[in-house]
Structure 1
């Protein structure tokens, strides 16, 4: 059975080497065929008429992905202003923060008053504080990942908190 297939393939390949004929019809149109027609001439095919395709493969394929440059975040405290005086007997005030570009999901901001974290980490850019004692304070906001890595920090902001004295005027008794 294999011998019959082999002989059949040899016969087919011999036919593929058939002669090509060229002729011009009465309208002046050129025709090509593998069958001889009257006033057809055999065409001699040269090696350079055959299609040859070569594919150049790169010698080294770059499998490493380009590394992205680390993003530089900018954090600034927009309110209260530098050396602002805040008057509140409860020691309450609000700190507003501006961040650019937007922080990725999972990164929180913490507020440090005099180097101590005074508010829990949050995604909001507004911190509301209460119970802060009077005097001079330094505010800093950090962008912190879940693992505790600080991505960015604001520059320190100095503020002054004033409260009425506990030694106010004496109350009149009834």
Structure 2
């Protein structure tokens, strides 16, 4: 193995080829390591080696760099209204969700409301969300603080609400009973 390495080192020193320069009929200048008709040998200065210094490499981290604003932003997020296990009665399926965030949101941070794990709308700076046309039934709500790139910085506890809507089916009308006639 060492012999092979020594041979490669010797070959690299002797591999410094002669460079030839010539001009074609269109006036273009060409360089080659092969001789050509009307080519001139190019004399290279002895000191053609480049000096490259490597800067120390820092370890690569999979974590995104944190800014001073992110380090300070340890948010406390909660849903104020409706409360956990609340029953909401609205035939149109409209209601308001109000959140609370402490401290105030930093620039570039937004609130996102999730219903049953799905974002309800675009992220916003306001902690008040107007929901429209939500289906009746049990739903899980959660509020999250996110950066513009979607990275979640804080989340509220998940709460459950029950949305009731009046049914459209009319109750069955009992059939008139036949009266007995004695006779």
Q: Which category of TM-score, normalised to the shorter sequence, fits these structures?
A: 0.5 to 0.7
Instruction: Name the counterpart of 1:84.
Output: 86
Deviation per CA, 1:18-60: give whole Å up to 9, x if none: xxxxxxxxxxxxxxxxxxxxxxxxxxxxxxxxxxxxxxxxxxx
Q: Per-residue deviation at 1:72?
A: 1.4
Q: Per-residue deviation at 1:165?
A: 0.9
Task: Report if the CA contact (8 A) 2:88-2:164 is conserved.
Answer: yes
Match of 1:102 among 101, 104, 125: 104
Q: Per-residue deviation at 1:169?
A: 4.7
Aligned counterparts, 1:63-74, within 5 A: 69-74=71-76
Q: Distance in 1 between matches of 2:121 and 2:157?
A: 18
Q: Which runs of 4+ in 1 moved over 6 A?
A: none
Q: Distance in 1 between matches of 2:156 and 2:73?
A: 16
Q: Distance in 1 between matches of 2:74 and 2:110?
A: 16
Task: Report if the CA contact (8 A) 1:119-1:129 is conserved.
Answer: no
Q: Distance in 2 between matches of 1:153 and 1:100?
A: 12
Question: When the two structures are superposed, what TM-score results if normalisation uses the length of structure 1?
Answer: 0.56
Instruction: Name the counterpart of 2:158.
Output: 156
Deviation per CA, 1:122-169: give whole Å up to 9, x if none: 111100001111111000011110111101110001100000112135
RMSD of equivalent CA atoms: 1.6
Question: Considering only CA atoms, is the larger Rg found in Structure 1 or Structure 2?
Answer: 1
Q: Per-residue deviation at 1:97?
A: 0.3
Task: Report if the CA contact (8 A) 2:145-2:155 is conserved.
Answer: yes
Instruction: Give structure 2 stretches of 5+ with no counterpart.
Output: 1-66, 173-183
Q: Distance in 2 between matches of 1:91 and 1:168?
A: 20
Instruction: Name the counterpart of 2:129.
Output: 127
Question: When the two structures are superposed, what TM-score results if normalisation uses the length of structure 2?
Answer: 0.54
Q: Does the residue aligned with 1:143 lie in a helix, a strand or coil?
A: strand
Task: Report if the CA contact (8 A) 1:74-1:154 is conserved.
Answer: yes
Q: Distance in 2 between matches of 1:88 and 1:71?
A: 37
